[in-house]
Amino acid sequence: MQGIAKTLVIDDDLQHRRDLSVILDFVGEQHCVISSDQVDEQIWDNTWGACLLGNFQSHKALTRIIDALRVQNHIPIIALPEHRSELAGLPNFVGELAQPFNYSQLMDAFRHCQEFLGKKAFQVPQLGRKNTLFRSMVGRSAAISQVRHLTEQVSKTDASVLILGESGTGKEVVARNIHYHSSRGKGPFVPVNCGAIPPDLLESELFGHEKGAFTGAIAARKGRFELAEGGTLFLDEIGDMPMSMQVKLLRVLQERCFERVGGNQTIQANVRIVAATHRNLDEMIANSKFREDLYYRLNVFPIEMPALRERIEDIPLLLQELLARMEAEGANVVHFTPRAITSLMEHKWPGNVRELANLVERLIILYPGEMVDVNHLPMSYRHTDLPEFHPEPHVTLEQMEQEALADIFAESNDDANSLSDLPPEGLNLKEMLADLEIDMIRQALEAQNGVVARAADMLGMRRTTLVEKMRKYGLSKDDIR
């Protein structure tokens, strides 16, 4: 699991906590290991990506933890098999982890957690709970987790929000989430694209007009401010608003009132303003193309949307969400091979999530119900230009990790294959496991002439995971060739 999300391990056995910490360090999983006495201090942190339940000193301690996790039902639970009966019926109980632990079992458990989190992220709100996270906000990266956190925080207030980011990153998605999670959620959400409306019509579009106000005004008409009464007005592409309109908008924000075009009756404006732009407003202010006073009125609470290329680890979950939505609409969806996903994660995505959604829709039309590999992708998305690769039947890093982890936890397996006998003076287990991992990575890179994607296949991991491990250990494919 990636990004800001971490695994919370709760176990009352000190040695077991240490062992679990070594394993999670070894597989690169961020974690926090605590005893049941520390649960009340930690369990209410909403950034946990999983909770692993180990051994407990009493049944009362376990019951107290389960009660907390019943409330924190967005946190997926992994537990020892002996806790199965107590956890039965909890929607967030996703898997078991038997002892002694092994690599495959651990990775399967974390995969179940990811699947749970992916489904939870875009559930439709029920019973009045607005828990929706739309398409562009799905993911476990630190960047999108921060956006979700800021969205949740500001939705509790009535402050003006300025959303910044490239086109296609989901700025309107964030605006809608802010609205639906706020006290104005039952009111209207009214979007207006300031860059798509001709300058001479924008004033009428925002403030409305009276009959006869201009040629073609054959009847009085409400503007977006009136339509958004009691709700939220989303001013998209605010950076494209003409200077003359910026002055009028500033007055409305300051005085909370306006008049229709051609009218003299003052109308009160009870709306929340959320604005967005892909432009650099600081530069526009410096070039006298955007009013600084309006900027400060809008920029009470800024939210910066990350580009998709800045959170590529979210692409698998985004694909899963997009396919689930299209399948719900009756589409015969495709399935992506690991190589295809790896190739998509190498793409720069100038169109961001919108580009990804368009690509998925295109592939469903071209290959309904089929498995999509790299050669099925449009040429511009083929970044892993490799022949189909099948690892040779030899010992992989995963197998070595399984042996190492089994060796850590084996209680009575003296004749099992182990890395070495424990010296009387002891050893540094983390260093030993790191040396093992470095050696296997070097061997794989040497065997594949420094081609990272093929080496990752040999080691049974994603290319991006191998790149992270190489960065962690200071390894370079150029040094190995």
Out of 1.10.3210.10, 3.40.50.2300, 1.25.40.10, 1.10.8.60, which CATH number does the structure's domain 309-381 have?
1.10.8.60
Dist. CA 231–CA 413, nearest whole Å: 66
Q: May I ask the CATH class of domain 397-480?
A: mainly alpha
Dihedral (C-alpha) 390, 394, 397, 402: value to the nearest 10 degrees? 120
Which pLDDT does position 422 carry in this prediction?
61
**Helix%, strand%, coil% for the chain, nearest 5:** 50, 10, 40
pLDDT exceeds 60 at position 457: yes
Instruction: Specify which residues 272 forms β-bridges with.
Output: 232
What CATH number belongs to 142-305?
Answer: 3.40.50.300
CATH fold match for the domains 142-305 and 397-480: no
Which pLDDT does position 412 carry in this prediction?
35
What CATH number belongs to 6-121?
Answer: 3.40.50.2300
Tens-digit pLDDT profile for residues 325-371:
888 888 888 988 888 888 999 899 999 999 999 999 999 999 998 88
E strands present in 67-188: 77-79, 93-96, 161-164
Closest CA to 228 of 275, 173, 271: 271
For the chain, the residue count is 481
Dist. CA 125–CA 356, nearest whole Å: 25
List the domain boundaries for the chain.
6-121, 142-305, 309-381, 397-480
Mean pLDDT of the chain: 82
| CA distances from residue 151 to 228, 234, 257, 280, 321 in whole angstroms, order as listed | 20, 15, 27, 21, 20
100 preceded by a cis bond (ω within 30 of 0): yes
pLDDT exceeds 90 at position 464: no
Using 50, 70 and 90 to split pLDDT, how confident is the model at 441?
confident
Q: With beta carbons less than 8 A apart as the criterion, state whether 327 and 364 touch.
A: no
